[in-house]
């Protein structure tokens, strides 16, 4: 006897369905932490995925998207924004100083401010463009040599200097904990650092650990593969 054909697709296997599942899990984590409904915003990380996938998420009500490369964002987002004026683009990846001007022109939020030279370049680009995206400082909470982010020793001084320099455009902090080990202590460290500086935005938590980040006080979680599926391997 022939085996029956597999269904071509499963109704849970769409961007809209995965987005709804992530939103439900965020709401459950917020409630479990005793935090008010709506305390956490979802940034859907669309890097490497086509504009059509972003369109699916927009149609399902998602407004904030994260991209880690300025060039890729510049190719995808101006056309998407034209059709969806409420769209908010977060640049979440390491920023080279020669891409800063484009980033300031494109982004609503830049989450990867992590060194004095980049602060200089951002200040110059904000002046030149007459436009100031919201800024988050990326902290290398694990002090990993290969990773972006200001080190924990230098972080307090850098945050204080950026508050003076950027004023209200500086909104908060972002981190990517070490890949191995428990991320919770890193999440708690970042939330405490933000509170110490009176900064409201705490961007932390990805597909594998956003529930833990929400328990530790995240205001923004950056979730990619749980919404858009596995990314093609980078060549
Ligand atoms: C890719 C990426 C994410 C999302 O990662 P997933 O594991 O796919 O959810 C979040 N933050 C940053 C900075 C990223 O580069």
Q: State whether the beta carbon of 149 lies less than 6 angstroms from ligand 1.
A: no
What are the helix (H) ranges across the chain?
A: 15-32, 51-59, 70-83, 100-106, 116-129, 152-166, 184-196, 210-215, 225-228
pLDDT value of position 164: 96
* Tokens (6 digits) for 228: 């858009």
**pTM value?**
0.94
**pLDDT (0 to 100) of residue 9:** 52
**Looking at residue 4, what is its pLDDT?**
56
Report the chain (235 residues): mean pLDDT per 10 consecutive residues: 53 89 98 97 97 97 98 96 96 96 98 98 98 97 97 98 97 97 98 98 98 98 96 65
Q: Whose CA is nearest to atom 7 of ligand 1?
A: 207
109 SS3 class: strand
- 47 Cβ closer than 6 Å to some ligand 1 atom: yes
């Amino acid at each position: 006897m022939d085996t029956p054909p597999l269904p071509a697709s499963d109704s849970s296997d769409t961007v809209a369905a995965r987005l709804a599942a992530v939103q439900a899990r965020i709401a459950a984590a917020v409630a479990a932490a005793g935090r008010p409904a709506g305390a956490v915003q979802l940034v859907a990380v669309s890097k490497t995925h086509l504009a059509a996938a972003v369109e699916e998420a927009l149609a399902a009500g998602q407004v904030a998207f994260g991209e880690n490369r300025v060039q890729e964002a510049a190719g995808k987002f101006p056309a998407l924004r034209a059709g969806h004026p409420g769209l908010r683009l977060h640049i979440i990846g390491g920023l080279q100083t020669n891409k800063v001007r484009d980033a300031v022109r494109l982004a609503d939020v830049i989450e990867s401010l992590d060194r004095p030279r980049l602060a200089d370049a951002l200040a110059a680009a904000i002046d030149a463009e007459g436009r100031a995206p919201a800024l988050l400082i990326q902290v290398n909470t694990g002090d990993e040599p290969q990773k972006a982010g200001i080190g924990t020793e230098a972080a307090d001084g850098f945050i204080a200097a950026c508050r003076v320099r950027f004023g209200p455009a500086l909104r908060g902090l972002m981190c990517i904990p070490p890949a191995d080990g428990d991320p919770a202590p890193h999440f708690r460290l970042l939330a405490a650092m933000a509170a110490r500086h009176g900064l409201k935005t705490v961007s932390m938590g990805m597909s594998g650990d956003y529930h833990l980040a929400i328990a530790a006080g995240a205001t923004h979680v950056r979730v990619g593969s749980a919404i858009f599926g596995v990314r093609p391997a980078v060549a």
